[in-house]
Amino acid sequence: MAFGSFDSKVGNHTMSEINMVPLIDVMLVLLVIFIITAPLLSHSIKINVPQASAEPVETKPQVIDLAVNDAGQLFWNEQPVLIEDLKPRFAAEAGLDPQPELRIRADLGTRYEILAQVMSSAKAAGMKRLGFITRPGEPGAEPAVK
């Protein structure tokens, strides 16, 4: 964008500089407006809000402790149970809200086949939270392999 001059002595050449004074004036006016209005925006209207005396209800999900010994016997919260009875129990527990967490404890000599059956019946029944309980090893100890 080229600007011309109204002075006839200068000639007919165009002026290639932009006059910055009006832009600076506008910026200063906007700055003053923002300085004045900013404190007004932080004030709030005081109203009396009703107070509730209810305490939040915290529901902790239950934990199902399923132990498997090296002979393949199953224990549901320390009570003996057959592997055939697990699927209906898992289905009943999966329908609860919040869903309980299934924690499996197994002996070192437990066959993986039994653990796989337990996990597949839990998944088929709709259990979503599954965990394993292990015992921390000693520092620097190698795991025992049979």
Count of domains for the chain: 1
| Structural domain contains residue 22 | no
| Structural domain contains residue 106 | yes
Q: Quote the CA–CA distance of 44 and 38 in Å, as a whole number.
A: 13
Residue type, 6: F
| Structural domain contains residue 98 | yes
Tokens of 143: 């795991």
Domain coverage including residue 77: 63-133
Q: Quote the CA–CA distance of 21 and 24 in Å, as a whole number.
A: 5
Give the distance from CA 11 to its chain's centroid: 72
| CATH number of the domain where residue 115 is located | 3.30.420.270
Give the pLDDT confidence score for residue 108 in this predicted structure: 87
Give the pLDDT confidence score for residue 103 in this predicted structure: 93
* Short-list 95, 97, 96, 73, CA closest to 85: 73
| Structural domain contains residue 21 | no
pTM of the model: 0.54
| Structural domain contains residue 145 | no
Task: Tell me if the bond preceding 139 is cis, omega within 30° of 0.
Answer: no
Digitized pLDDT (tens) for each residue of the chain, 146 residues in all: 555 556 656 556 676 788 889 999 999 999 999 998 888 777 677 877 777 777 777 777 689 999 999 898 999 999 999 999 999 999 999 988 888 999 999 988 889 999 999 999 999 999 999 999 887 766 655 555 54
